[in-house]
């Protein structure tokens, strides 16, 4: 999730396991431990645009690395906190905060390598968006009250809120996935994969992803408790196969790396291509859940002579924002 969510979640974990340590130092250590795994964004190369994708949410997020990561954070904080905390207490706070990061990321739709080095499986429960203010802001408020009043009970309230919100997210995800299955079965479509992901910053509007083997289909699914799911049929695109479109071994290797990152949801997105280049998008994410317009992808020459570029389509057009908001509010654009 975003750094603020990871920090406050790390603080909640740190205080849960360190009741005898000073509150302020416990929360700071847990906060910094909770943010530390995302330092993997520093792993990048000007000669290899995909290196950052390979290593984001990689070994620094794994459960096995948490004791090492927590130790690194504790050693960095020790000169500043040794007057108030023993090293064992500081390390426990940092370790718990660090451990919480990968576990929270696993609830999101992005994918996290929790089990390295034993498995390179990217765990993504798809319960919650990477950014969700309704999850984060109450936690921040309760954390602030706890610091102001110096009462840990408010932190337990934060832990309760996090638990309840994630449980509600899981329930909403189950409904979105069931709605996607029902839509597919009602039309007699043979599929290879079905996925439901929350749209940006909420757990009401979902993106249903359907893989038939030859095409991808997206659905916009609005789920309100007590009501039947509302489904809008989105765009349908052909599947992109790296093996059939690589001009050489290097290009094939890069395409396979991007396919691993995107969990094989690759498709050709012509509007993002330039000067005869190819643009291959990640079908999993879009601002408008019914749209095929990706948030990012890779661009390359069909000949493969110039290598690949990772491109973020940062400019979200006005219609996509309007469609997203209208669908969230229950209106049909």
- Report pLDDT digits (tens) over 179-222: 999 999 999 999 999 999 999 999 999 999 999 999 999 999 99
Per-residue pLDDT at 83: 86
Chosen domain end from 81, 98, 125 = 125
Would you say 286 and 296 are in contact if contact means Cβ atoms under 8 Å apart?
Answer: no
pLDDT at 81: 92
Show Cβ contacts of residue 175 under 8 Å, excluding neighbours closer than 6 positions. Answer: 223, 229
Count of C-beta atoms within a 10 Å radius of residue 316? 15
Evaluate if residue 43 carries a pLDDT over 80: yes
Residue 70 domain-assigned? yes
Do 199 and 206 form a contact (C-beta atoms < 8 A)? yes
Residue 333 has pLDDT above 80, yes or no: no
Compute the average pLDDT of residues 165-178: 98
Query: Per the domain annotation, does 292 fall within a domain?
Result: yes
Model confidence band, residue 110 (pLDDT cutoffs 50, 70, 90): confident
Return the pLDDT at 58. 94
Classify residue 288: in a domain, yes or no.
Answer: yes
Q: Structural domain tally of the chain?
A: 2
Within a domain: residue 14? yes
What is the mean pLDDT of the segment spanning 107-115? Answer: 92
Q: What is the mean pLDDT of the chain?
A: 93
Query: How open is the CA angle 129-135-138, to the nearest 5 degrees?
Result: 160
Helix (H) or strand (E) holding 68: helix 66-81
Is pLDDT above 70 for 304?
A: no
pLDDT digits (tens, 9 = 90+) for 237-289: 999 999 887 778 888 999 999 999 999 999 999 988 888 899 999 999 999 99
Query: Which residue range is the domain that position 246 belongs to?
Result: 240-323
- Whether 167 maps to a domain, the answer reads no
Q: Which residues pair with 282 in a beta bridge?
A: 266
Q: Is residue 53 part of a domain?
A: yes
- Residue 152 pLDDT > 90, yes or no? no
Domain ends where: 70, 93, 125?
125
Q: Does residue 168 belong to any structural domain of this protein? A: no
Does residue 189 form part of some domain?
no
Look at residues 98, 125, 152 and tell me which one is the last residue of a structural domain.
125
Q: Token digits for 11?
A: 């603080």
Distance CA 131, CA 324 (A): 15
Q: What is the pLDDT of residue 133?
A: 96
Share of the chain above pLDDT 90, in %: 80
């Amino acid at each position: 999730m975003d750094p603020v969510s990871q920090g406050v979640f790390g603080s909640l974990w740190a205080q849960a396991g360190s009741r005898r340590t000073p509150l302020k130092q416990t929360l700071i250590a847990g906060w910094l431990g909770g943010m530390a795994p995302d330092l993997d964004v520093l792993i990048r190369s000007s000669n290899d645009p995909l290196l950052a994708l390979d290593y984001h949410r990689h070994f620094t997020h794994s459960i096995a690395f948490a004791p090492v990561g927590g130790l690194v954070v504790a050693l960095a904080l020790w000169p500043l906190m040794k007057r108030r905390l023993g090293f064992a207490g500081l390390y426990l706070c940092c370790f718990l905060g660090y451990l919480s990061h990968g576990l929270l990321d696993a609830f999101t739709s992005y994918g996290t390598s929790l089990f390295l080095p034993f498995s390179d499986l990217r765990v993504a429960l798809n319960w919650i968006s990477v950014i969700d203010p309704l999850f984060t802001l109450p936690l921040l408020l309760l954390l602030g009250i706890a610091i102001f009043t110096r009462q840990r009970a408010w932190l337990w309230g934060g832990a309760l809120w996090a638990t309840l919100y994630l449980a509600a997210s899981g329930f909403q995800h189950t409904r979105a996935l069931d709605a996607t299955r029902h839509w597919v079965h009602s039309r007699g479509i043979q599929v290879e994969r079905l996925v439901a992901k929350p749209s940006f910053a909420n757990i009401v509007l979902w993106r249903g992803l359907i893989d038939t083997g030859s095409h991808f289909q997206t659905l916009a699914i609005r789920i309100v408790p007590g009501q039947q799911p509302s489904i809008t049929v989105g765009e349908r695109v052909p599947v992109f196969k790296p093996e059939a479109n690589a001009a050489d071994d290097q290009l094939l290797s890069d395409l396979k790396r991007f396919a691993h990152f995107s969990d094989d949801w690759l498709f050709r997105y012509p509007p993002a291509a330039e000067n005869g280049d190819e643009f291959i998008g990640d079908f999993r994410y879009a601002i408008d859940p019914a749209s095929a317009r990706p948030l990012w992808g890779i661009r390359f020459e069909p000949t493969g002579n110039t290598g690949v570029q990772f491109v973020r389509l940062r400019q979200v057009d006005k219609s996509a924002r309007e469609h997203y908001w209208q669908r969230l509010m229950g209106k049909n654009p």
